[in-house]
Amino acid sequence: MDKPKIKIRFTVSYDGTDYCGWQKQNHGHVKSVAFVLEEALSKLLNEKIGLYASGRTDAGVHALNQVCHFETTKPESFFFNIDFCWAVNSKLPHSIVVKDAWIAPPEFHSTLSSEYKTYRYIVRNSNRPSPMLHRYAHWVRNPVDIDYLNSLCDLLVGTKDFKSFQSVGTEVAHTVRTIYKARWIQKKEGTLEFRITGSGFLKQMVRNIVGTQLHLERTRENPEKFSEIIGLKDRTKAAAPAPARGLYLWKVYYPLELDNKCRKLYKDKLMVKD
């Protein structure tokens, strides 16, 4: 008889700069984030671990709170007797950090249970680039009109066919998605942040939206042009994607009743609250 398995859910943050993305079938010299995590987990748990995540991120894209899960034959007591995050992190490079972990109920699935997600895209909008932001933001030299960009965001919200913002490469059943919120925010001088929350995102959808919005802003197009591009359902009508370095998978949302069934793993009572 197979050993009983338990599910572990965890949150992970990564700097995507040096990875080929969350996952790739054939990776060459450059490793995927999932591959590195699976290796660390398999070593720690002394069994082959297969990892699932809320979704894939592209090469160079970062994550603040990617949500993953895996199954293990280790008993619950194993996880309560070690600081699981600390133990995994000690086997990971500095570019990947496990932040939080829970025992999840059997019905939890990081990909299938996710309800909606938030991405953020960071733009450095300043005369000069910043060496410290080179890996973490897209640099745009000329002053960007944030009110114009937000007028485009108003045209984005709703349930629409976003085929124009889907890059080729992944087959999906359909290209209709719901965007709940989309907003550009002026952060401290020289930094703009685009925040978008939706039911799901097509391949490179956020980068294609940002690339197209910045292109329309630069060319002083009538905002209606943006609705037109969406309506044409044709990828060739939109602009090139904005660079991966500015994009962050920010948060993944699950149904509250599922969250409530997850039991957090604590070890050190003195730890700073996450």
Site of interaction with a copy of itself (CB under 8 A): 13-15, 62, 85, 89, 94-100, 125-132, 134, 136, 141-143, 190, 270-274
Beta carbon of residue 142, minimum distance to a copy of itself (angstroms, whole number):
7
Helices (H), the chain: 33-45, 76-81, 84-89, 146-154, 205-218, 224-232, 256-261
Nearer to a copy of itself, 130 or 260 (CB): 130
Torsion angle in degrees (nearest 10) through CA of 4, 9, 12, 16? 70
Q: Report, in Å, the least distance between residue 97 CB and a copy of itself.
A: 5
For 72: left if phi > 0, alpha if psi spans -120 to 50, otherwise beta; the answer is: beta
Which is closer to a copy of itself, CB of 29 or CB of 269? 269
Q: Which is nearer to a copy of itself, 32 or 113 (CB)?
A: 32
Tokens standing for residue 28: 């060459």
Distance in Å from the first CA to the final CA of the chain:
39
Q: Quick one: 10 or 201, whose CB is closer to a copy of itself?
A: 10
CA distance 230 to 223: 12
Which is the catalytic residue, given 15, 58, 100, 161? 58
CB of 40 to a copy of itself, least distance (A): 14
Q: According to the 3-state scheme, what is the secondary structure of 175-208?
A: CEEEEEEEEEEECCCCEEEEEEEECCCCCCHHHH
Task: Report the SS3 class of residue 53.
Answer: strand
Active site residue 58: yes
- Name the residue nearer to a copy of itself (CB basis): 41 or 155: 41
Q: What's phi and psi for 63, nearest 5 deg?
A: -140, 135
Rg (alpha carbons) of the chain, rounded to whole number:
20
Structure-token pair, residue 44: 């720690």
Closest approach, Cβ 127 to a copy of itself, in A, equals 4
CB of 18 to a copy of itself, least distance (A): 10
Catalytic residues: 58
